[in-house]
């Protein structure tokens, strides 16, 4: 099955990094949607119930990561799609708040392609057991 992903991040550099990550190894051939803020990202989440995984940056203008998580939970939108909160080292409290707001896991910057691949394979395995 073709996998699709959503990246919500306000950094163009990070978009490019995700492009690299999703074009290599086991992730090659994936479809990736990009949003530059939470608002736009939420719209894409609504439109794509088939997403394998969402990578959500914490700090963004126009709806930050936590707000996206909270709204998604309040509206009960696609609860089957795992959302990974992307944080930086030293933001343990944010990670805790993210988890509380419904993040499936978190990914700390700096990360490498292997970290994302691992998250994806876990998400796929989990999807297979719950489906």
Partner 1 sequence: MSRDENPFGELLQDYVLECLPLAEQVADAFVELERRWREGDQADDLLASLAGRLHTVKGNSAMMGLTPAQEVAHALEDACGLLRGSSERRADAAASLLVAGGELLADLVRNAAPDLDPAPAASFVERVRRWMEAEVSLLPGTLPERRRADRRTGSDDAGSGKVDSVVRVDFRRLDAMLEVLGEGLIQHSALAEAHRGLARRTGACDELERLDQAVVALGKTLKRLESTLMDTRLLPISTVFGRFPRMVRDTAQGAGKRVRLIQSGGETPLDKAVLDRVSEPLLHLVSNAIVHGFESSDARRAAGKPEEGTLRLDAAPLAGRVVIRVGDDGRGLDGQAIRKKAEGLGYEPRSEEAIPLRNLIFLPGLSTADKVSALAGRGVGLDVVAGAIHALGGTIDVETEPGKGTTFTLSLPVTLAIVRSLIVEIDHERFAVPLAHVAETVRVEPETIREINHRGVTQWRGDLIHVADGGAMLGTAAGPTEPRRFYVVMAAGGRRRGLLVDRLVGHQDVVVKGLDPTLGRPDVVSGTTILGDGRVACIVDAVRILEGGRRAG
Q: Is the dihedral of CA 91, 96, 101, 107 positive or negative?
A: positive
| DSSP code string of 22-52 | TTSGGGTT-EEEEESSHHHHHHHHHH-TT-S
Count of chain residues binding partner 1 (CB under 8 A): 21
Biggest distance spanned by C-alpha atoms of the chain:
37
Which token pair is 27? 């992730």
For partner 1, the closer of residues 45 and 116 by Cβ is 116
- What is the Rg, in whole angstroms, of the alpha carbon atoms belonging to the chain? 13
Q: Does 128 bind partner 1 (CB under 8 A)?
A: no
Cα distance between residue 62 and residue 48, in whole Å: 20
Nearer to partner 1, 81 or 120 (CB): 120
Q: How far apart are CA 84 and CA 64, in angstroms?
A: 13
Does 89 sit near partner 1 (CB under 8 A)?
Answer: yes
Binding part of the chain for partner 1, among 63-71, 76-84, 107-115, 121-129 by CB under 8 A, reads: 107-115
Based on CB atoms, which residue is closest to partner 1, 33 or 111?
111
Stretch of residues binding partner 1 (CB under 8 A), selected from 18-26, 29-37, 99-107, 123-131? 18-26
Residues 23-42 that bind partner 1 (CB under 8 A): 24-26
Is residue 112 involved in binding partner 1 (CB under 8 A)?
A: yes
**Interface with partner 1 (CB under 8 A):** 11-13, 16-17, 20-21, 24-26, 59, 88-89, 109-115, 117
């Amino acid at each position: 099955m073709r996998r699709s992903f959503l990246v919500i991040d306000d950094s163009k550099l990070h978009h490019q990094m995700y492009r690299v990550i999703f074009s290599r190894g086991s992730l090659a051939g994936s479809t990736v949607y990009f949003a530059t803020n939470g608002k736009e990202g939420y719209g894409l989440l609504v439109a794509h119930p088939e997403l394998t995984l969402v990578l959500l940056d914490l700090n963004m203008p126009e709806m930050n990561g936590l707000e996206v998580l909270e709204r998604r939970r309040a509206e009960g939108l696609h609860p089957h799609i795992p959302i990974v909160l992307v944080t930086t080292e030293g933001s343990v409290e944010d990670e805790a708040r993210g988890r509380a707001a419904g993040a499936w896991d978190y990914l700390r910057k700096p990360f490498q392609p292997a970290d994302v691949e691992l998250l994806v394979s876990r998400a796929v395995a989990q999807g297979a057991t719950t489906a």
